[in-house]
């Protein structure tokens, strides 16, 4: 759906305008106060004068067609307004009125009828049950709550699945001197959806960054499409997704289900799509403001210039949290800094130039110039606050900030300015920025470090986004794809499709079990091989370390008596690192890959990384690097390091097999996948098909 005309009307009708409604009063005042240049017509069938101006009885009585109808009539009258407007050729509507899908079954049916009519007649409808929008870039403000001046125009587009928070977000953005291009309160999304608005903002030349407040992602496939468009266009999406849940995947049979929760899948999806996820409204706006001002950042190596030793330590701690590096300065840089930093200061990164900045107001900018020349630094962070109050003579302050602005503008590396704490940017501070060209200041060390880390991660995702994986080959599947396949059948599926599997023999009596050992030698493992059996060890279906025929016979008798006569005989493997590799179907996002530490520790440690399919080996390697236990794969405590390329290749092929199995697959799990150097081997596996 194309919504460009919705957000850029040249004329507006307020339908249901009345002096008795604060919504109507506010919307009309906003349009007048913030400079809407076109005509605003008022429609009220019962009153001739509204808001001090002439009112018309119906849309049909207007002297000219309008581009947008802002609808505030009672719920039952809304369909009639849309029908009349459609006959008149009005294609764009904001429906403020509530009483639709948010109220229950009757309201849901009413909303479905509204949506069906709108689609049949090609109408753009924002809402219902939404406050409207603010096109700050164009000065178009059909919005039902007061918009206090000044309305700052900027390059952050904000889309909210919340009406109540929209004004708070606007107020906070203005307090931080972050200008918006567009703000929309989505309402019920009966017709125009979040993804429709994101699509528009990707193409909008006034927008550099897209900020989303999301209660739900209704259409993941469509969301993925627009997120990839934004990444390709170089427009970061920053999202606050609420409703984090501990609910696990419905696939309870596999261990993977304990690792793949709703919120974990959202995290994985956002990471792969290049969507920056934040945890607060403050971070939503502050991170968006930084990205709008800085654009991509070239790397993780941060050089920090501050006037405070305490702040330096806070920054060092937060840099580690965000995965940012604070490399030592090059010797030449350190030598130059020693010439200007007071003797009681120390030259290290983060650099504390000390409180001497009160005496020498050029010290901070001179140190910044030197640090920005360091070849081992990607980005410079300058800790500096804007003035909070206007002094009797502002000229010296203006000159100081003008000099600093010139230094920053000529820096060979990006400079991010961060304030000490999160405070409002007052009128004089705005004046300083406007008159000197001093750049955007990020609010507070805590939010600033989070924003820098997010900007670096987004920049890396944009630079390294992988090429589409190759086509998935058609897998070999023998037997009906139903129920839960035993380990024996699942191992055969893996082996026939080229994946490494531990050898095994199926025995149906104890003599056959003993005879099977001749293939492998002692010690061996016996496992129950009954169909529809998921967690064998939980019910006594596994015996380890069997070192003699008597051990094998005794283990066979115990397993067969408890579970059934079919038993698998396998060589016992020792050493190495055990991983879990699972693919499970998320009801919204489709197949999700989980990799983590395996064996009996899966649900205890819950150390896993998630990815949406498809993935390639390079993406799997990145996922392995995210594990808390990643050092085990690198040969911790003298163990043999794993061949990570070999591991990633096998895991990527497991993911490809799962994709190839199609819509009938519910889950595919290998637990454990044993890794010993370059040897990678599935020791146990399970397939569950959808019922």
DSSP string over 284-342? HHHHHHHHHHH-----SBEEEEES-HHHHHHHHHHHHHTT-B-PPPPHHHHHHHHTTS-
Tokens of 685: 């596996």
Q: What is the pLDDT of residue 254?
A: 46
The answer to whether 652 touches 617, Cβ cutoff 8 Å, is yes
The residue-averaged pLDDT of 365-379 equals 96
Give the torsion sign (CA, 245, 656, 482, 492): negative
DSSP 523: S
Q: What is the pLDDT of residue 16?
A: 97
pTM: 0.91
The answer to whether 635 touches 676, Cβ cutoff 8 Å, is no
Q: What are phi and psi of 63, to 5 degrees?
A: -70, -15
Residues of the chain above pLDDT 90, percent:
80
DSSP 189: -
Tokens of 470: 């190759």
Give the torsion sign (CA, 675, 676, 681, 682): negative
Which of helix, strand or coil describes residue 235? Answer: coil
Give, rounded to a whole angstrom, the gap between the first and last alpha carbons of the chain: 36
Tokens of 479: 């037997």
Q: What is the pLDDT of residue 346?
A: 84
524: pLDDT strictly greater than 60: yes
Per-residue confidence band for 172, with pLDDT thresholds at 50, 70 and 90? very high
The answer to whether 541 touches 559, Cβ cutoff 8 Å, is yes
Per-residue confidence band for 377, with pLDDT thresholds at 50, 70 and 90? very high
Which residues are CB-contacts of 532 (< 8 A; sequence separation ≥ 6)?
Answer: 483, 484, 486
Q: Which CA distances in Å does 147 have to 151, 579, 691? A: 7, 55, 53
Comparing C-alpha atoms, which of 419, 446, 418, 441 is closest to residue 321? Answer: 446
Q: What is the pLDDT of residue 261?
A: 58
Tokens of 73: 């009539």
The residue-averaged pLDDT of 223-252 equals 81
The residue-averaged pLDDT of 526-552 equals 84
Q: Which CA distances in Å does 116 have to 110, 122, 190, 294? A: 10, 10, 9, 43
CA distance 208 to 383: 25
CA distance 686 to 688: 7
Which residues are CB-contacts of 199 (< 8 A; sequence separation ≥ 6)?
Answer: 3, 226, 229
32: pLDDT strictly greater than 90: yes
The answer to whether 28 touches 146, Cβ cutoff 8 Å, is no
Per-residue confidence band for 248, with pLDDT thresholds at 50, 70 and 90? very low
Which residues are CB-contacts of 517 (< 8 A; sequence separation ≥ 6)?
Answer: 524, 549, 552, 569
* Edge-to-edge strand list for the sheet holding 209-214: 132-134, 180-185, 153-160, 209-214, 237-241, 275-277
Residue 184 half-sphere exposure, CB side, CA atoms within 13 Å? 32
247: pLDDT strictly greater than 70: no
333: pLDDT strictly greater than 70: yes
Q: Cβ–Cβ contacts within 10 Å for residue 48, how many?
A: 9
CA distance 470 to 460: 23
249: pLDDT strictly greater than 50: no
250: pLDDT strictly greater than 60: no
CA distance 460 to 588: 27
Q: What is the pLDDT of residue 637?
A: 67
The residue-averaged pLDDT of 178-198 equals 97
Residues of the chain above pLDDT 70, percent:
95
Q: How long, in residues, is the chain? A: 691
The answer to whether 240 touches 280, Cβ cutoff 8 Å, is yes
- Structural domains for the chain: 4-207 (3.40.50.720), 296-464 (3.40.50.261), 503-571 (3.30.1490.20), 578-689 (3.30.470.20)
Per-residue confidence band for 431, with pLDDT thresholds at 50, 70 and 90? very high
Which of helix, strand or coil describes residue 546? Answer: strand
pLDDT tens-digit series, residues 445-488 = 999 999 999 999 999 999 988 777 778 888 999 888 898 898 88
Per-residue confidence band for 260, with pLDDT thresholds at 50, 70 and 90? low
171: pLDDT strictly greater than 70: yes
Q: Residue 126 forms beta bridges with which residues?
A: 94
Tokens of 59: 């849309």
Cα of 418 vs its chain's centroid, Å: 23
Compute the mean pLDDT over every residue in the chain, rounded to the nearest whole number: 92
pLDDT tens-digit series, residues 45-97 = 999 999 999 999 999 999 998 999 999 999 999 999 999 999 999 999 999 99
The residue-averaged pLDDT of 618-632 equals 90
CA distance 116 to 112: 6
Q: What are phi and psi of 596, to 5 degrees?
A: -170, 180
CA distance 593 to 265: 10
In this structure, the strands spanning 12-15 and 40-43 are: parallel
CA distance 360 to 351: 16
255: pLDDT strictly greater than 60: no
Per-residue confidence band for 441, with pLDDT thresholds at 50, 70 and 90? very high
Q: What is the pLDDT of residue 416?
A: 98
């Amino acid at each position: 759906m194309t919504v460009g005309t919705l957000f850029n009307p040249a004329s507006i009708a307020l339908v249901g305008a009345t002096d008795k409604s604060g919504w109507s009063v506010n919307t009309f005042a906003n349009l007048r106060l913030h400079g809407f240049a076109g005509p605003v017509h008022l429609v009220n069938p019962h009153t001739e004068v509204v808001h001090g101006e002439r009112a018309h009885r119906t849309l049909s009585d207007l002297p000219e067609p309008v581009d947008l109808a802002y609808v505030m009539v009672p719920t039952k009258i809304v369909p009639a307004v849309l029908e009349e407007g459609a006959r008149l050729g009005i294609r764009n509507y904001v429906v403020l009125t509530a009483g639709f899908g948010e109220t229950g079954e009757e309201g849901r049916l009413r909303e479905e009828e509204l949506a069906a009519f709108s689609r049949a007649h090609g109408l753009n409808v924002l809402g219902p049950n939404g406050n409207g929008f603010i096109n700050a870039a164009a000065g178009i403000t059909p919005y039902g709550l007061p918009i206090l001046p000044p309305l700052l125009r900027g390059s952050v587009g904000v889309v909210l699945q919340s009406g109540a928070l929209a004004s708070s977000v606007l107020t906070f953005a203005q307090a931080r001197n972050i200008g918006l291009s567009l703000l929309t309160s989505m309402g019920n999304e009966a017709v125009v959806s979040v993804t429709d608005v994101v699509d528009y903002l990707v193409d909008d030349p006034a927008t550099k960054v897209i900020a989303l407040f999301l209660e739900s992602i209704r259409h993941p496939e469509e969301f993925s499409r627009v997120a990839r468009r934004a990444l390709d266009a170089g427009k970061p999406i920053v999202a606050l997704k609420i409703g984090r849940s501990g609910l696990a995947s419905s696939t309870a049979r596999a261990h993977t289900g304990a690792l793949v929760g709703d919120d974990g899948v959202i995290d994985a999806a956002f990471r792969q799509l290049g969507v920056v996820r934040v945890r607060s409204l403050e971070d939503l706006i502050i991170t968006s403001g930084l990205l709008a001002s800085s654009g991509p950042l070239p790397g993780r190596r941060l050089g920090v210039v501050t006037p405070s030793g305490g702040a330096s330590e806070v920054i060092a701690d937060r840099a580690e949290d965000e995965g940012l590096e604070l490399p030592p300065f090059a010797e030449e840089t350190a030598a130059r800094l020693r010439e200007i930093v007071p003797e009681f200061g120390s030259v290290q990164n983060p650099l504390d130039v000390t409180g001497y900045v009160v005496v020498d107001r050029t010290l901070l900018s001179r140190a910044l110039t030197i640090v920005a020349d360091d070849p081992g630094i990607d980005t410079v962070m300058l800790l500096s606050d804007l003035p909070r109050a206007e002094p009797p003579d502002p000229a010296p302050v203006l000159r100081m900030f003008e000099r600093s602005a010139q230094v920053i503008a000529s820096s060979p590396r990006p400079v991010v300015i961060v304030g000490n704490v999160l405070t409002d940017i007052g009128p004089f501070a705005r004046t300083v920025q406007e008159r000197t060209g001093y750049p955007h200041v990020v609010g507070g060390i805590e939010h600033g470090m989070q924003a820098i880390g997010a900007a670096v991660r987004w920049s890396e995702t944009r630079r390294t986004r992988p090429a589409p994986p190759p086509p998935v080959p058609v897998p070999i599947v023998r037997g009906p794809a139903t129920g839960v396949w035993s380990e024996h059948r699942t191992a055969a599926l893996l082996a026939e499709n080229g994946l490494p599997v531990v050898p095994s023999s199926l025995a149906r009596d104890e003599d056959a079990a003993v005879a099977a050992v001749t293939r492998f030698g002692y010690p061996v493992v016996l496992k129950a091989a009954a169909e529809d059996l998921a967690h064998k060890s939980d019910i006594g279906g596994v015996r380890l370390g069997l070192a003699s025929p008597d051990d094998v016979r005794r283990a066979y008798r115990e397993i067969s008596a408890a579970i059934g006569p079919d038993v698998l005989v396998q060589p016992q493997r020792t050493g190495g690192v055990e991983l879990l590799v699972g693919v499970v179907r998320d009801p919204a996002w489709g197949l999700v890959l989980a990799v983590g530490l395996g064996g009996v520790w899966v649900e205890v440690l819950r150390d896993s990384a998630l990815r949406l399919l498809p993935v390639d080996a390079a993406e799997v390697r990145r996922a392995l690097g995210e594990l808390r236990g990643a050092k085990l794969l690198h040969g911790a405590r003298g163990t043999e390091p794993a061949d990570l390329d070999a591991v990633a290749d096998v895991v990527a092929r497991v993911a490809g097999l799962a994709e190839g199995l199609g819509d009938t697959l519910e889950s595919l799990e290998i637990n454990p996948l044993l890794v010993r150097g370059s040897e990678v081997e599935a020791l146990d596996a399970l397939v569950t098909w959808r019922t």
